[in-house]
Structure formats: C-alpha cells, structure tokens
Structure 1
C-alpha cells in the first residue's frame, strides 16, 4: 500500500481525469479518512510552474471554511514515480452521489434543483468573498450528501484578477460551462466571479430543463457544447409552479454581459427564498457586494436587487 508524506495511505482510486487522479485514503496521524488528489507527473515534466500553481491553489482553497465546500487539509510532494516528484492535495473525503450521476438517473423536482443550486451559489459566495474563482462549476464537481451539497475540486481555481488560463495559456474548465467572454477573449483575461455565476446559471438551467440552453455548434474553433459566438442562452421552457423570479434569475446569470449578471450572494439568497431554505452566505471579506439596508433586508450592490429575507445565516 502506497503512503504519502509518511501519513496518508492510499487505499482505492476513486476518480481519474486528464490532470489528476483521486484516491480514497487514510490519515494515519489523525486517524481519519481523506481524499488525496495526485497531479499527473507529465504535467510537471511539461512545465515546472505547475507545482507552484497547485501549491497556490491548495492554499487558496484551504482558506475556505464553509458547509458547502469540501475542505483542503494538506499539500505535499509525491515521489511515487522515480525521478518525477509531483504535487498532491489532501482533501475532505465526501461521501455521496455526484449531481452528474443524479441527473443521469432521471428528472429531478424543481424544488430540489433550486435548493442544490442555492447551496452551490452559497459555496461560490464564500469563495468570491475571499477573492477565489472556482472556474469549473459543473455537475461532476457537486456531491449530494444527506447534509447538503458539497462543491469539490478547486484544483483549477484562480485568484480573482489573475490571468484566466492554465500555465500553457489554454482555457481551463468544461466548455459547456465556460462563460462567453472567456471563450472569445483576445489575449489573456482576468479571472472573475462573474464567470462562475455564468456557470451556475447553466447548471441551474440544465437541472431544470435537462438540456443546455443553446443548440450545440460545429463551428470551427468552438469547443463541443460551448455556447456559439453571438448566441444568447434560451429562456427556460415552461415548468409547472416554478416561480417566475427563478426563471428570470437563471437567464440573468447566463447573460453574455458579465456586468449584467447578479452576484453569487444574490443568487444564493434568492434561490433559497424560492424553496424556503436556509443558506450560509458570508457577507464580510474583500468585496462588500451585499449590504444590509434594513433589518432582514439586503441589497446586492452589483445588480441593485433588493428584498432578501432575513432568515438566512451570515457572518457577523
């Protein structure tokens, strides 16, 4: 059995991707189960900057403490392959079903879809208030647990304002959830919370309508399933009893204009209100995007949305 850092025993591989593989492991020092993400050695061989990028991302994610975010515990270097040390990240092991698997199993009630996305939005609000942009919100990175949603994989996260690309200059993320300004930018663009909100809007649309809000394009240079140039996301089809404000909010999140999108704070609070749920939204941090204007009433400074209910939890 392989051991990392003289404490993390790798027990079973539970996920494989192009950049990494994830193992179920055990922390022998603290006697607890963990998830260990091993970065592919070939990435280290192609660029020495990858190690520092992964270290920075691990530090950023470790700053997040939120009930809807899978925590990061540790970072280290693995020497499992001779001559090719590669970074690894030790994370909270989350037991549950991915939203991707849940959607493949069949339709979900709109109340569940809205509640799931409210909790995803709350997780993003926690990241955004710390200046962290996730960059890969999609069903496979969302785990449904008995205690609620957990957002996984801040492995390609970036600090807001930093160049929004991988170390080799390519666009990171899953094409269907990549904001149009990222796809169509000439040169390097900064990472922004608005791009996460766009992905959240696509996620909500997909959960409610079971399809993407545009017809896939075969245009040269357009990634599969990505929104084609100049195309607006389609309005949601009629869904019985779905509040009009949810449908409107979903479409606002997918606006081609980043400035027209609501903040993650507003999305979390409005979606939670629609299903009479509670979310944990941090209202303190680097950017005062939401402020209390009267007891129980909150204003989203970006979009001037008002009248959030007062029963949602917030940082003091």
Structure 2
C-alpha cells in the first residue's frame, strides 16, 4: 500500500504532507476531518520489504507504550489503527523545531536557556519511567521545543516496557550511538538510568557545542561510551552544573541520579540560582563617579548632573509650594544653593 497526499486513512485522517521517512516508517502531517484538527500520522513504510510483521509489532509496542503517557512534555497518542498489515499511529502534531535544530543554529546554548529544556524533558521521562516505559532513544532530534520554550518528547519507537515481551534479542544493541548509555552499548537491559545518561549527553552537547564522544563508526562511538572517560566540561560552565551533569554521565548506572525527578528538581534549583545571580548582578551594576556611587539610571544622563539638578529644582519648588511663609522659601533656596556648592566642590 503506497501512501499519497490526499489519501484518507481509516475514513477519518487525511494525509496532507510527508514530513519524514526512515528505515521503519514515514511520518505525515495529516488532518482529522471528524474533530477538525491537525495531527501527525506515523505509518509503516510501504516498501519496508522483509520483516514487516516484526516492524508492525514494534509499531504496536510504541502505541502500547505511549497510550497512557498523558503529560504536557510528551507528545500525545490519539489512536492506533491497522489496515492491510500496515499500522498507523495517530499522534499530536507538534509544530516545533527539534532541539537538534536549535543546536545546529546556535551551537552552544547559555545554561539558563538550556536548563528549562532539560528540566521539562526530565519531567516527561519521569512520567514514562513511572509507567515502566524506558524511551531508549533520548536525543535532541526527539525533543521538540516550541518558540515559547515548551518541550515535547517524541518517538517511543524503540521504547521498552517492564510488563511486555521484548522484541529485541538478548545482546542486541538498541539506541543511537552518539547518545547511547554504556549498558545499552553492551547489549544489557536499559533502565531509567539509561535515559538519564542519554539526557546527560544532550546536556553536555548543549553546553559544549559537541558531544562527549566521537568516532569513525557507530561501533567506535558506542565503545567510547563504555571505555573512555568523559572529557571535562569547560570551566565557563557553572561548577555545580558541571558536577551534576558528570554524575548523569557516570559509567555505572548506580552512580547516576536516583531518578528523572531528582534530575528535574536539581536542575531547577541550579536554574533558579543562576537566574538570581543574573538578577543580582544586573541590580548591583553601578557607576563610580568622584568617590560617590551613583545608580546607573542617574549616571546614564550626561555627567549624571542634569537629573540631579532637575531633582534639586523640584525639591526647592516643592518646599516653596508647601508653605505660605516667605522665610521658609528663602531657607529652602539657601539650602539648595549650599547643596549645589557641595556638589561643585566634589567635582
């Protein structure tokens, strides 16, 4: 069955535009004509050839694992449908760029820009883990970020559940080499700490502009995750943030944070501290002039004197308007005159 634009799936979902095509399936932007909303449709490729049944089983697994994951930071699954041996996932359409796109455009992200993305991703992963679902492919391409900064985790295509039969064979490596955890790279069973490791790689890449490990082949990269020490993060990165990310990248899963909730809460505390530091730095910015510290808003006027003179004039005017005694007004003018002389002496 070949999928074409305008085709109606399940007498309800119209295929409007092919968005992506991969080894297992293709993703379309579609339209739900019953509810009048845009949707994303993931389908098994028509030319998938061998092992079609295995691939359909994998799509069913993705549907099963995504069905109960209702959370603002996880792309929602609306329906699963099969026809002529082809499975269709009807999902929430996320009109956003991926974090991979953001990395490509900006290279290195400021910590205060990256942390909200990591925090929301960790929250979504915690919900998945709470339902026994391990994503197994946490990477920037599967983290969608809207212009408002809202995050959606997508693609549970190779996820695994604690209460389902495994589709992969024992010892089979599953994941993306650049972000795979050491235990996954060795064909061991993935755990919530495996997703935490992958999120640590994402954090490392966002702060450094590159991943911790490279290699000529995916096998070389996966081996580096297992055997090579993680290169240190730059000193320009906040010390506490550096230490925590390195804990996420520990080779031993038991040395990583307890769960994704700990990750989100710890990163939130670091974010608040960094934001507070920025605010304090901004508020404490002053200009030192002739031994007297002037607020920045005063010093921004020419020599800082125009505003001061205007203020003194208004003070004098206010004293005059506030009394009916001429002698009080004269005293006020004398005081203002003396104040001006003091200012001139300090110049």
TM-score, reference length from structure 2: 0.71
Q: 2-side partners of 1:254 and 1:39: how far apart?
A: 34
Measure the CA separation in 1 of the matches of 2:173 and 2:100.
22
Of structures 1 and 2, the one scoring higher in RCO (CA 8 A, sep 6+) is 1
- Contact conserved, 2:117 with 2:151, CA < 8 A, in 1? yes
Runs of 5+ unmatched residues, structure 2: 1-5, 274-347
Distance 1:161 1:224, change over 3 A: farther
Which residue of the partner structure matches residue 268 of structure 1? 264
Match of 1:120 in 2: 121
Distance 1:168 1:225, change over 3 A: closer
| Residue 256 (structure 1) aligns with | 251
Shift of 1:14: 1.2
State the SS of the aligned residue for 1:18.
coil
Partner of 2:234 in structure 1? 237
**Rg larger in 1 or in 2?**
2
Following the alignment from structure 2 to structure 1, what is the Cα–Cα distance between the partners of residues 223 and 88? 30
Q: How does 1:1-316 map to 2 (within 5 A)?
A: 1-41=6-46, 43=48, 45-79=50-84, 85-106=85-106, 107-145=108-146, 146=148, 148-160=150-162, 166=168, 170-185=172-187, 189-214=188-213, 216-218=214-216, 222-224=219-221, 227-239=224-236, 242-262=237-257, 263-276=259-272
Note the C-alpha offset of 1:191: 2.8
- The number of equivalent residue pairs is 265
SS at the partner of 1:77?
strand
1:42/1:257 Cα in 2 relative to 1: closer, same or farther (>3 Å)? farther
Change (3 A) 1:191 1:208: same
Distance 1:167 1:77 in 2: 25
Structure 2 CA distance for aligned equivalents of residues 52 and 164 of structure 1: 11
State the Cα RMSD in Å.
Answer: 2.4
Contact 1:160–1:190 (8 Å) recurs in 2: no
Runs (4 or more) in structure 1 with deviation over 3 Å come to 41-45, 160-170, 223-226
Shift in Å, 1:256: 0.7
Contact 1:132 1:159 in 2 (8 A): yes
SS in 2 for 1:256: coil
Which stretch shows the higher mean deviation, 189-198 or 40-49? 40-49
State the secondary structure of the residue aligned to 2:23.
coil
Shift of 1:48: 2.0
Q: How far apart are residue 227 of structure 1 and its match? A: 2.7
Q: Structure 1 residues 132-141 or 12-21, which shifts more?
A: 12-21
Q: Following TM superposition, by how much is the alpha carbon of 1:222 offset from its aligned partner in structure 2, in angstroms?
A: 1.8
Once residues 111 and 211 of structure 2 are traced to their aligned partners in structure 1, the CA distance between those partners, rounded to angstroms, is 16
2 CA distance for matches of 1:160 and 1:198?
19
The alpha-carbon deviation at position 224 of structure 1 amounts to: 4.6
Provide the rounded CA distance (Å) in 1 between the counterparts of 2:165 and 2:228: 25
